[in-house]
Structure 1
Amino acid sequence: MKPWRKFLMLALMAWLLLFLCLLSYYLDKGPVGQMVRSVGALARNEVRRLASFQAGGKGPLVGTGSTLEAGEEEEETEEAKEMRRKEQQLLVLGLWQGRASSRLLSPRLQQARLHYLNSNKHQVTWRPAEGRPGGQRSSQELLCELQRRASLRTLDGSQQPFAGMGWSGVVPGEPLGPMAPGSEIETCAVVMSAGAMLNSSLGAEIDSHDAVLRFNAAPTEGYEKDVGNKTTIRIMNSQILARPMFHFNSSSLYRDGTLVWYEDPDFDFFTPYVDRRRKRPDQPFYILHPAFLWGLWDVIQSNSEETIQPNPPSSGFIGIAVMLALCRQVHVYEYIPSSRQTDLCHYFEPHINAACTLGAYHPLLYEKLLVQRMSASTTPDDLHQGSRVTLPGFSTVDCGGGGIAAPSATP
């Protein structure tokens, strides 16, 4: 290349570099730069907002230290915070009395509810049954309907595609449930992972039960005073098995007791499940049947005055339904929030989100109203003091031979 051409190319490159530097400087200092930064902030806020919607469905991941961005709470004025606290107190009082509705939810949670109603990810269609409105059913009728229309069921390896994969030899041979009438567990505790369990001093009471159910990666070590130490059954989602951060094969959390898995596999769940069953065939490990989960959803919707989110029930409601089938008496702790109610999602991690208590992805609000109605012996004072809901197991309820016309939901 001729010398003059090299010189010209170098001059052009230097001029272009100078132009870009000046442009960047003026854009950053001027109103255009401010606008760009504002748009970026809006985008980040939108991402956080959508993430918080999803957190209501999946929950924060244990060990991630996930919390709200520092600026989120700071943007809310003290007056707005006080108003939000009063609204939450009103909603909790409504739950105690069984008279809450989505109108009492915060604008953010109302928007989340509408988002999931409109998206209808699972393509759910539902037709209400004829007859008496669900809101007029007694606690006994509700329990009988739940027992009849959402009978506890697990995958037994006979369904396709699992039958062709040899799963009949992988899943437990004994069913999850009482082997015969009269073999039910006498007293059971369902312990929610809610932040309100902190400072509850319920540990000794919880451990006094014959069986205790816990959820996902909820620990007991270090929290024994509030949540107890006994674990008989642990209900988990697919992340616990599939993600290395949970140390499923080495953690003592999953070493003993009966394991039950729920939800559709968002991760590669089946490979680690088969691996676990082959390594520890003596440990009962069940997969809840999707028909059982959607049967629960049917009962919630048919007994709600509003249209609920067309998504599977929360792990809390699933756990309650499982124990109603296994036990003669069930005590549920901090499902319907007590006076200790807080936006802290879990007692063991610092994640703050009201959706963990009131629901965004899952129809939590309607689940809790249904549980309150099923518990005829639980008073608002019981909930205020300790948030312990007492439910009779299915085996103790006289359902007779009659039935309630069943609506149908098809996911």
Structure 2
Amino acid sequence: MKTMKPTQKLIFFFCSMLVVGFICYSSGHLHLWGQKPLYDKQGFLLQLDTKLPLELVYKYGNLSEGVCKPGYAEAKMTSIYPKFMRRVPMFLDRNFKRLAKVGNYFPPFGFKTQEKIIDSILTYTKNYGLGEELDSLSCKRCIIVGNGGILFNKSLGSRIDDYDVVVRLNEAPVSGYGKDVGTKTTLRITYPEGAIQKPENYEKDSLFVFSAFKPLDFKWLRQMVFKEKLRGTEGFWKSVAHSVPRDPTEMRILNPYFIQEAAFQFIGLPFNNGLMGKGNIPTLGTVAITMALHNCDEVAVAGFGYDMNTPHAPLHYYETVKMSTIKESWTHNISKEKEFLRKLVKANVITDLTNGI
């Protein structure tokens, strides 16, 4: 084996140093050459567009327009957010204690300390799905109907009613507004302070879906389920319903995982040690959209989006309160939430019928 001459050793040494230096320089200065990270800090793809990835073109490209696309929302969501895991149950069932992701968190991000009361409620309600007909569908098209004034005079009622699952929020009325918001309600998601207070205003054929934001909410639900007289209302921030005209079999508990995921994974709100704090609670509308992404094949929304440039526009479709009444909320971060929803619309994960997002 030949030994290297001193001059060869010197050249070899300098060449090695140049290679190492070039690698170090490159890794530290990639941004000078226009290289950017592919994903934002929440884990979403930075470059979003409505085009289908090639593998989805082959899967959905030949389907007729209007035909439900099985797994579409999951496929589109995964293409822009690789960490997305679809199979998360919509409602709590008798096996809810196995849900580790929410078992370690206090309300609203979990059910810690509330296991006993939830167990008693679920034993009584007995049903944990959407119902036999909807649960058996091989492809579900869902729409979340927000309460925004943007719905007014849009005549979207018949389009909304065409969806398999129509989700409404809190006390937003249907009667008298059918032309714009439809007449069908599959489920209405609410919490004690947002629930309809007049029994006659409840639709006859919808599920009452409860979303808890504090431990006291579960006590209220138990009284509603067991038809007990309402007691202990001091902890609510406004008046609450004294009864819910629903059979226990028509009542459900929304999986708190959707509040947790919307807040910390999707929007990036302050974690605050997993406790409710300033600006870290997602709105119920975004929670409902998160739920739909996990449980529906196609997802649409209507009545979403606050336009602060139109202060005299109606805030809600059913009342005269103006947009200017909105002030920065202690619990919500509207601007960060809008940023998240715009990602979904821009990538065509969800369809916005009123173009408010």
CA change 1:366–1:146 in 2 (3 A) is farther
Post-superposition Cα deviations, 1:256-314, rounded to whole Å, max 9, x if no partner, equal 2122111324665233332259971332x21223343112211234499xxx9642210
The Cα of 1:324 is off from its aligned counterpart by 2.2
Is 1:261 the counterpart of 2:210? The answer is yes
Q: How many residues align?
A: 248
- Letter in structure 2 aligned against 1:361: T
CA change 1:229–1:341 in 2 (3 A) is farther
SS of residue in 2 equivalent to 1:183: coil
Counterparts of 2:328 and 2:153 in 1: how far apart (Å)? Answer: 21
CA change 1:219–1:161 in 2 (3 A) is closer
Partners of 1:260 and 1:287 within 8 A in 2: yes
Is 1:347 the counterpart of 2:296? The answer is no
Alignment match, 1:362? 332
Alignment RMSD: 4.2
Counterparts of 1:235 and 1:146 in 2: how far apart (Å)? Answer: 26
Is 1:156 the counterpart of 2:93? The answer is yes
SS of residue in 2 equivalent to 1:188: strand
- State, as a whole percentage, how many aligned pairs show the same letter: 22
- Letter in structure 1 aligned against 2:317: Y
Is 1:387 the counterpart of 2:355? The answer is yes
Alignment of structure 1 residues 9-408 onto 2, 5 Å: 132-133=39-40, 134=43, 136-137=45-46, 140-141=77-78, 144=81, 147-148=84-85, 151-156=88-93, 159=97, 161-163=114-116, 166-175=120-129, 183-240=137-194, 246-247=197-198, 250-265=199-214, 269-275=220-226, 280-283=247-250, 285-302=251-268, 310-336=279-305, 343-354=313-324, 361-376=331-346, 378=348, 386-387=354-355
Counterparts of 2:175 and 2:354 in 1: how far apart (Å)? Answer: 22
SS of residue in 1 equivalent to 2:337: helix
- Letter in structure 2 aligned against 1:258: L
Counterparts of 1:370 and 1:217 in 2: how far apart (Å)? Answer: 25
- Long gaps (5+) in structure 2: 1-36, 49-75, 98-112, 228-243, 271-276
Partners of 1:235 and 1:262 within 8 A in 2: yes
Counterparts of 1:357 and 1:227 in 2: how far apart (Å)? Answer: 26
Post-superposition Cα deviations, 1:72-98, rounded to whole Å, max 9, x if no partner, equal xxxxxxxxxxxxxxxxxxxxxxxxxxx
Partners of 2:144 and 2:302 within 8 A in 1: yes
- Which structure carries more relative contact order (alpha carbon 8 Å, separation 6+)? 1
The Cα of 1:225 is off from its aligned counterpart by 1.3
CA change 1:178–1:256 in 2 (3 A) is closer
Partners of 1:188 and 1:209 within 8 A in 2: yes
- Letter in structure 1 aligned against 2:284: S
Counterparts of 1:337 and 1:161 in 2: how far apart (Å)? Answer: 35
Counterparts of 2:134 and 2:163 in 1: how far apart (Å)? Answer: 21
| Structure richer in helix, relative to its length | 1
Counterparts of 2:245 and 2:175 in 1: how far apart (Å)? Answer: 28
- Long gaps (5+) in structure 1: 1-129, 390-411
SS of residue in 2 equivalent to 1:374: helix
CA change 1:201–1:166 in 2 (3 A) is closer
Partners of 2:90 and 2:291 within 8 A in 1: no
Partners of 2:208 and 2:246 within 8 A in 1: no
CA change 1:378–1:365 in 2 (3 A) is same
- Letter in structure 2 aligned against 1:155: L
- With structure 1 as the length reference, what TM-score do the two structures score? 0.49
Counterparts of 1:184 and 1:340 in 2: how far apart (Å)? Answer: 42
The Cα of 1:316 is off from its aligned counterpart by 0.6
Counterparts of 2:114 and 2:187 in 1: how far apart (Å)? Answer: 27
The Cα of 1:367 is off from its aligned counterpart by 2.1
CA change 1:237–1:371 in 2 (3 A) is same
Counterparts of 2:138 and 2:332 in 1: how far apart (Å)? Answer: 29
SS of residue in 1 equivalent to 2:300: strand
The Cα of 1:196 is off from its aligned counterpart by 1.5
Post-superposition Cα deviations, 1:123-174, rounded to whole Å, max 9, x if no partner, equal xxxxxxx994335445644765574299345333555544376344124443
Counterparts of 2:211 and 2:87 in 1: how far apart (Å)? Answer: 14
Partners of 1:156 and 1:168 within 8 A in 2: yes
SS of residue in 1 equivalent to 2:225: helix
The Cα of 1:354 is off from its aligned counterpart by 4.5
CA change 1:314–1:240 in 2 (3 A) is closer
